[in-house]
Amino acid sequence: MTRVHRISEETINSLATGGGGDAVVGELRAVQWSKHRVLVLAVVREAAQARHPHAEMAASAFAALTQLGASAPRSVERVLGYPSVGGWMWRQLRSSTPMDPGLLGTLALAAAVNAGLACQVDLPIHGSSLVFPSLGLVVLPANVRGTVTASVRPDSGGGAILTIAPKETEPVTIHLKAGQDAPGWQALRDMPLSTEFTLTIDDLDPFRWPKTESVRSRLPQRFMTDGRPR
C-alpha cells in the first residue's frame, strides 16, 4: 500500500488564521523531509532504469543515508529537508541534462558531518568543487578528477576531516567546520539580525534559487555583520 503524507486540517486552519507554533512547524518539516526522500529515491531508481554508469554509486549513497538515519535521524532529516535538495532532485528528474546521480554521495557525507559520524562513499568529479548541502562548498585542487573515494570523520575541534582519494594522485585532506572557512572549504555563514535571531545565508548552493542563471557569486564578508555593506 502506498502511504500518502498529508498536512492535517488542523495545521492548515492554524496557518490560515495566523497561528503556528512548534507542532505546526514540525508537521511542515516532516512533510518536506518525506517529499525530498521520495525525490532522492526516484533519482536513484531512474538512474538504475536508465543504466547510468554511476547508478550503483547513487544506490550506495542512498544506502549510506539509510544507515546514517538509523543512528542519527535528525542529521539525515536536516540534510534531506534542506530546501536546495528538493530543487536539485526536482530538476534532476525533469532536466534533459541532469547532473551525475553519483553526486548523491554528497548528501550522505553532509549528514555524517552534521551528526559527527564517519562515512565513506565514491563520488564522480566533474568540476572544481563539491557542494555539501546545508554546510558549504569544497574547492578541489586541479589534480582531483574522475572517480574518487571520499570519506569524512569527526575531529576533536567539532568539525570534520574530509579525505578525497583519487585513483591516480595522492589523497587530499580538507578540514570542514560549520560556519568557518578554511583552505579548500567555504562554509555557509550566519548573519545576525538581532540579539535573538540569526539567519544562515546560503550563497553557495547552485540549487538555492529556482533558476540557476539567477544565482550570483558569494556575498562579501562585510554583508555578514548586520546585513548592510560597510
Number of folded domains in the chain? 1
Share of the chain above pLDDT 70, in %: 91
158-217 pLDDT per residue, tens: 899 999 999 888 999 999 988 899 999 999 998 877 788 888 888 898 888 766 566 667
In a domain, 11, yes or no: no
21-69 pLDDT per residue, tens: 888 888 887 788 788 889 999 999 999 999 999 999 999 999 999 999 9
127-152 pLDDT per residue, tens: 999 999 999 999 999 889 999 999 99
- Cα–Cα nearest to 73, from 118, 32, 36, 115: 115
Number of helical H runs and strand E runs in the chain: 6, 9
Domain limits for position 76? 22-224
Split at pLDDT 50, 70, 90, the class of 229 is very low
Reduced to 3 states, what is the DSSP secondary structure of residue 88?
helix
In a domain, 5, yes or no: no
Other beta carbons within 10 Å of 62: 20
In the prediction, which pLDDT does 56 show?
97
In a domain, 102, yes or no: yes
Q: Hey, which bits of 155-221 come out as E strands?
A: 160-166, 172-176, 185-187, 189-192, 198-201
Reduced to 3 states, what is the DSSP secondary structure of residue 9?
helix
In a domain, 6, yes or no: no
In a domain, 200, yes or no: yes
The mean pLDDT of the chain is 88
In the prediction, which pLDDT does 215 show?
63
pLDDT at 230 over 50: no
The pTM of the full predicted model, rounded to 2 decimals, is: 0.86
